[in-house]
């Protein structure tokens, strides 16, 4: 008969199919006896929490794996779920040795579905989603920081150009030159997909990055670069460019490059298996250590030097000017 469906093409539903689907999705099932605090989970749940499946497990047993900063919040949230109408979701971190994982506990509140004092729900490993959210927030903060810096740099470059330009035509030409150089420098702090060979010589990289900040005409040459001839890989070049760009921006706003008589010297020394880049400012306004609670720029520098380059950065806030020492293993410069 036309219109009839061939039911032989469809699988016969079996409750076991639900179990297979839940397992395939990585969903851990749990049951919580709110009176005794006892928890029963399926195999995925025990693996997720890294606790032995033999013997009883209580909420307090699991609490020992919850991140200390989240522990009280999670306990309070679970207790509060009995008064929540409808579905609830609680996200928190657990510690498995040195690894941090994000778990989402989900169920229905207001004792909906409770049977003989037992509540039911699921655990989901949402580490990937949380890491993506954190990366997005970090990127948004970094982009906001860069935009603010570019606006500040543009204003500083305009002031610097006005000191040496004699006519408005000269100023327009010199300012255009500086902004063009700034654009080239900005390209160096943007990763180029697929580029794996050495991006540049270290000296050329530093020179191009600092070119927009050097005065023209009578004041030319107040930025000196002295580094050995050595190549630098694309990944290291991008990270180092970000660091130097941040240091230059701070110098233009607050340091030696904000003053007509300020000087900047960038030198590189090789000490055993480390390249030590020394950033020395002189002749600018008196500098002071930053107030407690570093800003985004300082945190960005620390993160790039530590995680991006596997090195370190140290500051000497002498009254005559900032001295920053960047230590990077030479092997990392080839990456």
For residue 195, pLDDT over 60 is answered with: no
Per-residue confidence at 199, pLDDT binned at 50, 70, 90?
Answer: low
Region of poorest pLDDT, from 6-20, 114-128, 153-167 = 6-20
Domain of residue 301, CATH code: 3.30.565.10
Q: Which one of 102, 125, 148 terminates a domain?
A: 125
Q: Which one of 125, 143, 177 terminates a domain?
A: 125
- Residue 3 domain-assigned (yes or no): no
Return the closest-CA partner of residue 115 out of 35, 41, 56: 35
| Contact assessment for residue 258 and residue 249, using Cβ atoms and an 8 Å cutoff | no
Query: pLDDT by residue (tens digit) across 68-81?
Result: 888 888 888 777 76
Structural domains of the chain, count = 2
Place of tokens 């729900």: 121
- pLDDT in the model for residue 178: 65
For residue 218, pLDDT over 50 is answered with: no
Tell me the average pLDDT across 66-94: 79
Domain shared by 137 and 25, yes or no: no
Strands (DSSP E) contained in the chain are 28-33, 38-41, 57-58, 87-96, 99-108, 118-125, 198-201, 223-226, 231-233, 263-271, 274-282, 312-318, 321-329
Domain shared by 34 and 67, yes or no: yes
What distance in Å separates the CA atoms of residue 230 and residue 242, rounded to the nearest whole number?
Answer: 19
Domain shared by 118 and 138, yes or no: no
Query: pLDDT by residue (tens digit) across 265-317?
Result: 999 999 888 999 999 999 988 887 776 555 656 777 887 788 878 899 999 98
Q: Which one of 71, 103, 125 terminates a domain?
A: 125
């Amino acid at each position: 008969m036309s219109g009839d469906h061939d039911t032989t093409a469809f699988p016969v539903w079996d409750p076991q199919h639900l179990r297979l689907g839940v397992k395939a999705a990585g969903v851990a099932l749990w049951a919580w006896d709110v009176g005794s605090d006892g928890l029963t989970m399926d195999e995925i749940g025990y693996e997720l929490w890294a606790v032995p499946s033999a013997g009883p497990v209580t909420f307090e047993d699991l609490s020992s794996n919850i991140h200390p900063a989240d522990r009280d919040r999670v306990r309070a949230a679970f207790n509060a779920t009995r008064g929540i109408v409808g579905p609830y979701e609680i996200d928190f971190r657990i510690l498995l040795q040195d690894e941090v994982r994000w778990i989402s506990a989900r169920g229905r509140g207001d004792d909906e579905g409770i049977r003989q004092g037992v509540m039911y729900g699921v655990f989901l490993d949402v580490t990937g989603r949380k890491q993506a959210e954190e990366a997005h927030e970090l990127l948004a903060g970094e982009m906001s920081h860069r935009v603010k810096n570019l606006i500040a740099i543009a204003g500083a470059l305009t002031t610097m150009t006005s000191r040496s330009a004699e006519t408005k035509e000269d100023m327009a030409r010199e300012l255009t030159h500086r902004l063009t150089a700034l654009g080239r420098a900005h390209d160096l702090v943007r990763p180029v997909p697929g580029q794996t060979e050495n991006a540049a010589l270290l000296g050329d990289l530093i020179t191009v990055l600092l070119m927009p900040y050097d005065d023209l005409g009578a004041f030319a040459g107040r930025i000196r670069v002295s580094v050995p001839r050595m190549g630098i890989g694309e990944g290291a070049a991008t990270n180092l460019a970000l660091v130097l760009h941040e240091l230059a921006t701070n110098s233009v706003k607050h340091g030696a490059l904000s003053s007509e008589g300020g000087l900047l010297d960038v030198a590189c020394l090789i000490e055993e298996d480390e390249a030590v880049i020394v950033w020395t400012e002189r002749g600018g306004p008196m500098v002071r250590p930053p107030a407690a609670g570093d800003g985004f720029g300082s945190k960005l520098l620390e993160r790039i030097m530590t995680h991006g380059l596997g090195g370190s950065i140290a500051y000497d806030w002498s009254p005559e000017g900032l001295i920053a020492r960047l230590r990077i293993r030479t092997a990392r410069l080839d990456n």
